[in-house]
Structure 1
């Protein structure tokens, strides 16, 4: 079984008082949970993959008990399906899930972008920062990071819509958005540049204070995502 990273296991130097922050690591079940969830969202564990408790225990460096706890939590979140004595299967993204996420995004994002105009300087500066970050990540070929920044771009607009309840609702879509976004980028790499260009158009519409143009751009942007993501289903 592989040992844990040295940074998590090294003792303090002799005579040096150990600090809780230096020696404390997350509970075993939490480490397994984060390992599996990140791998699913980044498509290192793709839909249909069967994960066994033994393999995961060895990969993370824990016993099987916390693995079971983590897998149960991920099943509740809809990422896995448990099969007794066999393991857990990563659930593929379904056509219905895509449709539900896109419909919710359309409702929330078009409403939020209307309320975000006139856009405050802080929002415009933040969106510009995220746009430049996304360009750099795409150029470096880091698709997982590009998908995260893509999601942050939209979430920033939703937050500036001023409705805290809608913002929390939107945040609940985070994992599903990231998983779908990475899938689309892997299968349609040509879409990445188009995606960035559409973000730039949305930002410009917000700068111009053009509500209807901003709404139309957001609607078209999310609709394209739906079209491409549906191509990933069987």
Structure 2
């Protein structure tokens, strides 16, 4: 009931996760990323402990493949889980348990991995990877392009209702964490609209955290 990708920008080292599902608030349970370490999506019958575990293992020096091999050893009911990871070298790894739901499959390349379950067809993750690899610009733009490509290729077997995109860069918090937790319209387009608004302000929000004396004003009432 989910399709997603994890990705790294080879130029900046920024990491990102984008995800969509027929379930509510998918990004709240399934998206994990850590600056300088990597990004993980933990989905299907999700176990929210697996994303932080994979990131901890990569932070300790494991590659994405080594981390997911260890996750498979430590995780409970791992045959039900689908986990994607990209590490600081741009290497990727995917675990898709045999009890993943419906049509499930995966695809990966340098700096990007995609997987899904309860899909319309088995070509969706490959379309997501291709969409990411052919897109240009900011990592957030490329993640949105990839999710749109997955939706155009068929997406989930039924309608999706929630989506999210998380980006991490040089600070220990997400520089963007945009979500649509439920809609009867397209949640991917809702996140895309939020990204259009947020993208020009991203650096300013980081600057406000690091040193508000140098932060720009956006002219809202009371902000002189």
TM-score, normalised on structure 2?
0.27
TM-score, normalised on structure 1?
0.26
Of Structure 1 and Structure 2, which has the larger fraction of its residues in strand?
2
Of Structure 1 and Structure 2, which has the larger fraction of its residues in helix?
1
